[in-house]
Amino acid sequence: MVSSLKIDEKSGLIEGVRFVSSPNCDDRPPGCAIEVVVIHAISLPPGEFGGPDIERLFCNTLDCRSHPYYRELEGLKVSAHLLIRRDGAIVQFMPLQARAWHAGESCCEGRARVNDFSIGIELEGSDQSPFEDAQYRSLQLVIAAIMRAYPAVTPARVVGHADIAPGRKTDPGPFFDWVRLRRAL
């Protein structure tokens, strides 16, 4: 079992983590530091776990005719820096210094455009079910590595998507154990 993760500061990649390149990112504004981690939850199709469709969505290769729910995703360009699968496996979609398109219309600490100064982490899950122990272990390792590499990120600056987009988003949802995560950090 891995006890820590390391971020290569030059490449922005987490060492030993599978990388799948997403085009849904761009450069952060000049001088914009990474200060916040946003935790999300996603399952595709909704409520189903496993399979390639989350990665396909983030890479713009999802067949939107393959499931009725996917019709509303047609043309959507979204991504996150990281995905943590139910078994704790981590997938990285872009360097951490890139701006992922994960937060949408959002506000954190009085600042809009949260994508500019955040790292987005998707947990494979939903508002209707608990997350797995393996996911919490991987999430804790990832956030610890991020806090070492980007000191402006503190436990207080680890937030949920619902926190930065209230009324619009609910994830990671009521089954996410914030107390457990904060104790681990």
SS3 assignment, position 174 = coil
- Does residue 15 carry a catalytic annotation? no
Q: How far apart are CA 133 and CA 146, in angstroms?
A: 20
Which among 35, 55, 122, 132 is annotated as catalytic? 122
Cβ atoms of residues 110 and 163 within 8 Å: no
| 159-180 CB burial, b ≥16 within 10 A, e <16 | bbbbbbbeeebebbbeebeeee
SS3 assignment, position 161 = helix
User: CA–CA distance from 54 to each of 48, 49, 84, 156 (Å)?
Assistant: 11, 10, 11, 28
Q: How far apart are CA 103 and CA 101, in angstroms?
A: 6
Annotated catalytic sites, by residue? Answer: 122
